[in-house]
Chain A
Amino acid sequence: MSTLEPILQVRDVSLSFKGVKAINELSFDVRRGEICALIGPNGAGKSSLLNLLNGVYRFDSGEIVFEQQRFRRIDPLDAARRGIGRTFQNNALFKKMSVIDNLLTGLSRHMRSHFLEQALGLPRARREAEAFRLKAQHILQLLELQAVRDVPVGTLSYGRQKRVELGRALIAGPTLLLLDEPMAGMNAEEKQEMARFIADVNRDLGTTVVLIEHDMGVVMGLSDHVVVLDYGRKVGDGTPAEVQGNPEVIAAYLGAVH
């Protein structure tokens, strides 16, 4: 599943907010098909990094190489089109819409038919709608959400909502999936489930995953590669085992004097 070329390369990227450096000359690689976890204490810049990767923030310096293409800046729409999908920390689901409708919104940017074709029920629109529905069905099966297909998302349990969000990010078939604390607020059982689904997605669809996560147990069990951030800098980079034994990482978490 992994070729030798990294799917994503972050090179000397920096980002500041009003003089405070959120990310400081950060560099690391993500190999194709791996699950890479970003960890670090709160405020280390993990969410900012994710926002950079999909274009919500613009970095001040450095460059990002995705699929061998260099970027000085990424537009979110462009990022999505190139195959970068993401989920959010606070549930950004459409509460009044059903599960399947939420999934289907993930395909909006792949829509080819014109609204008039849809309005009049013309063949191209119908074929496209059918194709979209098949993809949604596939995701529903993969994430075991068929039972709640028509339920308004706002009424689901938190764990299930997160799964729907995962599905929405997946339905367009991204090659790189950015997950922002996919297990935040879940109990142990829900976390196990989510970890299983992420692993399934990675294995069955071949999607490269970059996730932010706080639960060490989950991180060590799930990921192939761990990058540790502290105060916007990289303080650890390697397999889970390597990183666990790294004194700098331990210091970052236990709060040694900086």
Chain B
Amino acid sequence: MAFFLETLIGGLLAGTLYSLVAIGFVLIYKASGVFNFAQGSMLLFAALTFVSLHDQGVPFALALLLTVGVMVIGALLIERLVLRPLVNRSQITLFMATLGLSFIIEGLAQGLMGSQVRALDLGIDDVPLFVHGVMLSQFDLIAAGAAVVLVVVLALLFNKTRIGVSLRAVADDTTAALSIGINLNRIWQIVWAVAGCVGLVAGLLWGARQGVQFSLSLVVLKALPVLIIGGFTSIGGAIVGGLIVGASENLAEVYIGPLIGGGITPWFAYVLALAFLYIRPAGLFGERAIERV
């Protein structure tokens, strides 16, 4: 029983990291209808920037601040050079643009900062904790805690500040938002910057877990099943989806894996997502799209 709980909770905690990544997607998708394939590369870039600065001796807080600055500048550039020229184009076109963007960011990241694996030490020891006989990872708990804090901050941002309300207006009905004078370009810049920062947090946590390396950018591919299960437009959905994916992946690997040769983690989440697609296409919390002829 303890083992089952361990697996479950371990999966849930891992799932919070998935949720973190997924939240970045949801933000951008909600505000601009774009599925940002480059989120993973942004994650990688953020983590690499921070690590490079830190390795050069820049103190933790300053490095963090500088990295945030870099992500903000990046968001501005992306909005100006990629999003604005492609406004009103189809979702698939925008997605492909983010695919191209991911290549650019990755090329830059590895070109400027090298492609070796970098260890990232956030000062959190990964010691096992024993709670009621169940073994948990301290790191995972802290990561989950960070995710919770982030979500709370975002919730406050969206509900209490004027920017946040404008963002929700844009997500709800872009044309109406435009007609009351909301500056769409500004909103997109902000959203992408925020997503960049979320990516930074996620990148740091992931990086601390498995080292900052190129495969970090493939984390984006894991976010897709999360978004399908939770819905593309809901942060709550991203959280729930991440937890579901994390938990079921872990459980499946442990309990079903040995039956078919193991290593099912790469694709199990997708099969799960597919099943969800059949039952509930819009995701648990998503909005259904209606088409008119």
What residues of chain A lie closer than 8 Å to B293, measured between beta carbons?
88, 90, 92
What residues of chain A lie closer than 8 Å to B292, measured between beta carbons?
90
Give Cα A88 to B292, complex, Å.
11
SS class, residues of chain A in contact with chain B: loop
A residues 44-90 touching B (CB-CB < 8 Å): 88, 90
Give Cα A158 to B126, complex, Å.
66
Min CB–CB distance B88 → chain A (angstroms):
14
Give Cα A90 to B292, complex, Å.
9
Q: Which residue of B lies closest to A88 (CB)?
A: B293
Residues 136-171 of A, flagged 1 when their CB comes within 8 A of B and 0 if not, give 000000000000000000000000000000000000
A residues 70-120 touching B (CB-CB < 8 Å): 88, 90, 92
Residues 262-293 of B, flagged 1 when their CB comes within 8 A of A and 0 if not, give 00000000000000000000000000000011
Q: Which residue of B lies closest to A56 (CB)?
A: B293
Give Cα A92 to B292, complex, Å.
10
What residues of chain B lie closer than 8 Å to A90, measured between beta carbons?
292-293
Q: How many residues of A contact B (CB 8 A)?
A: 3
Min CB–CB distance A120 → chain B (angstroms):
32
Give Cα A92 to B293, complex, Å.
7
Q: Which residue of B lies closest to A51 (CB)?
A: B293
Min CB–CB distance B232 → chain A (angstroms):
26
Q: Which residue of A lies closest to B292 (CB)?
A: A90
What residues of chain B lie closer than 8 Å to A88, measured between beta carbons?
293
Give Cα A254 to B293, complex, Å.
30
Give Cα A92 to B291, complex, Å.
12
Min CB–CB distance B293 → chain A (angstroms):
5
Give Cα A90 to B293, complex, Å.
7
Give Cα A134 to B17, complex, Å.
62
What residues of chain B lie closer than 8 Å to A92, measured between beta carbons?
293
Min CB–CB distance B290 → chain A (angstroms):
14
Give Cα A93 to B292, complex, Å.
13
Min CB–CB distance B167 → chain A (angstroms):
30
Residues 172-214 of B, flagged 1 when their CB comes within 8 A of A and 0 if not, give 0000000000000000000000000000000000000000000
Give Cα A8 to B292, complex, Å.
27
Give Cα A88 to B293, complex, Å.
7
Min CB–CB distance A97 → chain B (angstroms):
16
Give Cα A38 to B292, complex, Å.
22
Min CB–CB distance A217 → chain B (angstroms):
28
Min CB–CB distance A139 → chain B (angstroms):
22
Q: Which residue of B lies closest to A92 (CB)?
A: B293
Give Cα A75 to B126, complex, Å.
63
Min CB–CB distance A28 → chain B (angstroms):
25
Min CB–CB distance B59 → chain A (angstroms):
56
Min CB–CB distance A50 → chain B (angstroms):
12
Min CB–CB distance B114 → chain A (angstroms):
44
Q: Which residue of B lies closest to A89 (CB)?
A: B293
Give Cα A100 to B292, complex, Å.
25
Min CB–CB distance A57 → chain B (angstroms):
12
Give Cα A227 to B215, complex, Å.
67
Give Cα A88 to B291, complex, Å.
14
A residues 168-188 touching B (CB-CB < 8 Å): none
Min CB–CB distance B121 → chain A (angstroms):
54
Min CB–CB distance B265 → chain A (angstroms):
39
Give Cα A116 to B292, complex, Å.
33
Residues 241-255 of A, flagged 1 when their CB comes within 8 A of B and 0 if not, give 000000000000000
Min CB–CB distance A130 → chain B (angstroms):
31
Q: Which residue of B lies closest to A180 (CB)?
A: B293
Give Cα A238 to B151, complex, Å.
66
Min CB–CB distance B13 → chain A (angstroms):
45
Give Cα A85 to B293, complex, Å.
15
Min CB–CB distance B72 → chain A (angstroms):
39
Min CB–CB distance B91 → chain A (angstroms):
16
Give Cα A22 to B64, complex, Å.
61
| 4 A/B residue pairs, CB under 8 Å, sorted by A | A88-B293, A90-B292, A90-B293, A92-B293
Q: Interface of A with B (CB < 8 Å)?
A: 88, 90, 92
Nearest 4 CB-CB pairings of A with B: A92-B293, A88-B293, A90-B293, A90-B292
